[in-house]
Structure 1
Amino acid sequence: MKTVFAVLALSLVALFPAISAADPTYHAVQAELVKPRDGLGNVLAKLEAGETVRVAYLGGSITAANGWRVKTTAWLKEKYPDATIEEIHAAIGGTGSDLGVFRLERDALRHKPDLLFVEFAVNDGGASPDRIWKAMEGIVRQTWETNPKTDICFVYTYRVNYEEPLRKGECPQAASAMELLADHYGIPSVNFAKKIVELESDGKLTFQSDQPEEGKIHFSKDGVHPLDAGHEIYTEVLANAIQQMAADAHPVDHQAKLASAFVSDHWQAAKMVPINPDMLSGNWKALSEDATLQKRFGNRMGQIYEATEPGSKLTFRFRGSSAKLYDLLGPDGGQVIITVDGKPREKLVPRFDSYCTYHRIATLSLAGDLDPDKVHEVTVEIHPDQPDRQPVAFRLKNPEEELKAPKYQGTNVRASQILVLGDIVP
């Protein structure tokens, strides 16, 4: 009889959209080092059985570093020598869950992870709880829609100023928002930041310093990115958490959890769609495999298209509520005119900012808060004038001369994917 009811429940999940109660109200959550909730029973069973296990790490620069990610993979291999551990590196520095939810499929899910670690508590620090819930719930629901036996674990890293709420026994705002979502879905969480603050309060650690202090752990130079000793602490906390959860591990099929949404407007529909050459007009070209920027960013972005001449356009149509462009900012970046449903945006949007002494991955918001049931048309056109380069001057030794160099000249736009809440329409 239980089997019949279980099958019926899964059928209802497939037939009807997720039901959401009244949208949640944010409140600070008590900080705990480990909250096992429904645990990691699926992946632990595979580890104990000596099977192949794929572990994905989705996050920002703290996870992209050769730190707790690499050390955790090494610990898993040592702890479970009969299992084959494969690491999926899905972290990009300077990015939060609002990009993570769009790139999840490309960077993680297509590699079929058994375990997904999600680390965005620092880079989501300035986001509202509502925005965090939309993106983080999208990550959870996409993962379990793809494979309901993939286990998920939220981890919360430290940055300066997070000690203030933690000393009161509370999670910082981003982690609190994530904890409320984790409660709803039974997702385990591990609070690295709590351990760091405890060590500092005990006089055993220095949060931020250029020089190590005798007798104390030198956590970081900038108050955000751990040095090796900081990553060791993160790894030890996580290893202890996994062993704690192993003591009461049981496999869980997460499919039934999708019947009830946490927020009504979550971003499960977020997707990344490659730019099609048919969308391009003007002097766009696909960068070759040996082009510098393609070699540097192609692994994350896919095929990058570049246009250098004013008037070159990218045009596409989509049915949905919002769209962004997955592109590059850089010292030779241009500025663009954005037109949505025939209405040009009042201000030009530069693909250049005060950090642009180098190229880096970015997103360009094109359209938002649109009628999700209608088809919308978006055009991105390169403007004839390059943006003002003065915002980067304070980073240069001789800005007056350096800004005249070829490096800082051009109206270049480079992009690879469209990030859409909805679907691209031919």
Structure 2
Amino acid sequence: MKLAVIGTGYVGLVSGVCFAHKGNEVICVDLEQYKIDMLNRAESPIYEPGIEELISLNKEAGRLEFTSNLADAVRRSDIVILAVGTPSLANGEANLSYIEQAAADVGKAMNGYKIIMTKSTVPVGTNEKIKDVVSQHTNYSFDIVSAPEFLREGSAINDTLHPDRVIIGLDNAGLRETMVTLHQVFTDKIYVTDIRSAEMIKYASNAFLATKISFINEIANICEKVGADVTCVADGMGMDKRIGSSFLQAGIGYGGSCFPKDTNALIQIAGNVDYEFKLLKSVVEVNTDQRFMIVSKLRESLGQLHGVPIGIWGLAFKPNTDDIREAPALEIVETLIQAGAIVKLYDPIAMDKFKERVNHPNIVWCSSPQQAAEGSDAVCLLTDWEEFKKVDLVQLSSVLRKPVLIDGRNVFTEDQIQSSGLEYYSVGRPRMSGWNRDKVEA
């Protein structure tokens, strides 16, 4: 099929590349010319493992092209995919200005019947607004389809090529065969429903996963008080097929471009129809509080933080991405700076993005985990990159001024810590907290 994809962020670029990889003719559109110039050199404006190889492969095969000429792309396509950003407004609602502008531009460019498919995450009822906007700018007939994405940054290509399921929302049942044909190259698990339900499925799914994360973090906090091990608790819970083991890893909470934005948007969606989503409000509150556990454990171990050098391992909200949107590191670093600490920062990929957001005389930018640790009174692990999991903990203990490691992602095992000489703190594993404190103090 001939597709135009409007927007080359995570959703648009990965979707466009994967549709091309499955044999479709795809034109990816972005109004920022520097992105198009990069993509035409097979350089990705986003960090996503494997994306540049797929761009090169499909460009060479003649199935994939990039342009800033939206009108030309729309005219040459049968299906137009809207994949522009819907960032949060100050009140938590989704900002729909970009997708409404894209819809207007598509309407102006139409030269015949088109299927307009929305992959951006949008509140319930948005596709009806898109339909109205397009109608104001064209006399040609068209149909609207909702096909929300469920990819994860860092594994977006695999999630797109091998999805758990595809959700398709239709108002015109006659489109069912076309939409199923387009997506069945990825999976036969295709659920077709109405547009409003499809829009809601996206928000409900992300809100439920965010709830699982906040739930296990609350359990971890209780475990620390009663002497239980949250990893054992999560393993036991996950064996129940009604619960499952995914998203039961205790830590310092979720971040990124989806969960924070979508949970806040769903709270606002509920509020707009006079329903208070009490459970989800608590999920957001727990997640916000959880990241400050790192600072509490630092104070517990070191006392005052003013003038104290603290190594930070990991700035991205998760491994295998350079995305720092809503990353716990943002608030943790800011809190440490406010307390007067000297923060020594390192991340394998996200350093440049973090520098764009945060700058302060108390920040030391480091080129390795070892440099961030050397001479520090503590190291805080905030992102579970593979690089950090491979660190020699005995060597780490020797280069720290005070051998304190605060593991916000429960990366290390009891055996690793027992022989390390470190004073170790993790999340919800109290018998490991301060493991070698007596040895250190002696």
Tell whether the structures are fold-level matches, with TM greater than 0.5.
no
Task: Name whichever structure is richer in helix by fraction.
Answer: 2
Q: TM-score, normalised by structure 1?
A: 0.27
| Higher RCO, Cα 8 Å, sep 6+ | 1
Task: Name whichever structure is richer in strand by fraction.
Answer: 1
Q: TM-score, normalised by structure 2?
A: 0.26
